[in-house]
Structure 1
């Protein structure tokens, strides 16, 4: 359901509601808006898949004979990839929520040289802010907590390495 109101001079692809809907339908970003159970299960599957890929890579291209070092190296690389994935999710959703919550919309009519600013009407502003508050903000909070848990995992790995 894309917005096609005629009183909005912003091009279709640059309207904040349409940017939100397009992002919500994309594979990566739709995963971040799923239910908590589905989000955790998919995160677990992603972690397992990355661990297997990095394990195969390390077995083929490294000379690691210590199983503990091999496991920690695999864990670190998997966490780094997932951390960068969450950074990408955070940046995408924060851009969209910023445009949804703003009272003005900057847009380009035909190129980089002719930018315009449109002041949202009250109908657009209320609709966009409701979507930003109740749809996008919970996802951003979930992504922040996921990044914090990955950071805590890095600290735990570091402490484990420094102890042993």
Structure 2
């Protein structure tokens, strides 16, 4: 995976393909690249886990001034906001990587912020990077966009219900 120094002057950890592999292995981003069924199961598991932690916090904040229904409602609302933030972070991380993979040039820093360089990818590296970006990462980004859209629609529905109740 690592391109030789005579072909690619970009440091190992700043090469787009290596950034993609590191992001794919990271704990936070790894669950977004699972198969669809595992992804859905993981999202629901994380939702339930967050809900278990948020319910006591909401019940302490309101300290028995509201019913159990409202505690559950505000807990689901809070977890939904957390999920929106998680999906935004996932989207930003993956879109940064796909932008670097699809680009014909790579901006990199050899030793610090003051000595930035631009490297123009060779044709074969550009082709390989674009194939990975288009056929591996774009489906993950679409999945994250749909998940984010569902969370935003649920948040809107929850806010409408909150107004009506």
**TM tier, shorter chain?**
over 0.9
Correspondence for 1:95: 96
Correspondence for 1:130: 131
Structure 2 residue matching 1:113: 3-state secondary structure: helix
Taking structure 2 as the reference length, the TM-score comes to: 0.94
Correspondence for 1:55: 55
1:67 Cα deviation from its structure 2 partner: 1.9
Q: Which range moves more in the overlay, 120-129 or 149-158?
A: 149-158
Per-residue CA deviations over 1:80-99 (Å, capped at 9, x if unaligned) read: 11111111101100100000
Taking structure 1 as the reference length, the TM-score comes to: 0.95
Which residues of structure 1 form unaligned runs of 5+?
none
Per-residue CA deviations over 1:98-134 (Å, capped at 9, x if unaligned) read: 0000000000111111111000000110000000001
Per-residue CA deviations over 1:25-47 (Å, capped at 9, x if unaligned) read: 11111110111100100000111
1:65 Cα deviation from its structure 2 partner: 2.8
Correspondence for 1:108: 109
* Corresponding pairs, count: 163
C-alpha separation between the residues in 2 aligned to 1:156 and 1:98?
33
1:57 Cα deviation from its structure 2 partner: 1.4
